[in-house]
């Protein structure tokens, strides 16, 4: 049966889908692996500090200077890995992100 305006795909045609990550943890690690070096150092330090970390302590632990730190924070927020909270603190988008890193 054909309805007007709809086309059918012959049963022999296959649609190729992109490969899916093996797990959520792998997807998070893939996402983090593409970060610039300072952002990668900062998110690893933040993971050690846990959810709800302060900017100042994360900068010190990651051993990046304040200038690099602000750029790195922007990159992490833009990628939705972390979210900004009041009083110069941040939290991970989900606790699983911190635990995987």
Question: Which tens digits make up the pLDDT trace of 13-39?
Answer: 565 656 655 788 898 999 999 999 999
- At residue 22, the pLDDT reads 73
With a cut of 50, list the residues of the chain below it in pLDDT.
Answer: none
Say which DSSP state 93 is in.
S
Task: Please indicate, yes or no, if residue 6 is contained in any of the structural domains.
Answer: no
- At residue 101, the pLDDT reads 87
Task: Please indicate, yes or no, if residue 15 is contained in any of the structural domains.
Answer: no
- What is the pTM for the complete model shown? 0.74
- At residue 50, the pLDDT reads 87
Closest CA to 38 of 68, 83, 74, 14: 68
- At residue 19, the pLDDT reads 61
- At residue 57, the pLDDT reads 96
Cβ-proximal residues to 97 (8 Å cutoff; 6+ apart), any chain:
28, 47, 81
Task: Please indicate, yes or no, if residue 72 is contained in any of the structural domains.
Answer: yes
Residue-by-residue DSSP string for 30-82: HHHHTS-HHHHHHHHHHHHH-SSEEHHHHHHHHT--HHHHHHHHHHHHHTTSE
- At residue 60, the pLDDT reads 96
Domain of 95: which CATH number?
1.10.10
* Domain housing 83: 24-100
The total number of structural domains that make up the chain: 1
Distance (Å) of CA 30 to CA 53, 54, 62, 101: 23, 25, 20, 11
């Amino acid at each position: 049966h054909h309805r007007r305006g709809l086309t059918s795909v012959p049963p022999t045609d296959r649609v190729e889908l992109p490969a899916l990550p093996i797990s959520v943890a792998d997807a998070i690690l893939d996402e983090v692996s593409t970060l610039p070096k300072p952002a990668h150092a900062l998110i690893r330090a933040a993971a050690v500090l846990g959810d709800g970390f302060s900017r100042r302590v994360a900068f010190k632990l990651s051993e990046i200077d304040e200038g690099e730190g602000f750029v790195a924070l922007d990159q992490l927020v833009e990628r939705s890995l972390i979210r900004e909270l009041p009083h110069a603190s941040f939290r991970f988008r989900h606790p699983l992100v911190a635990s995987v890193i």
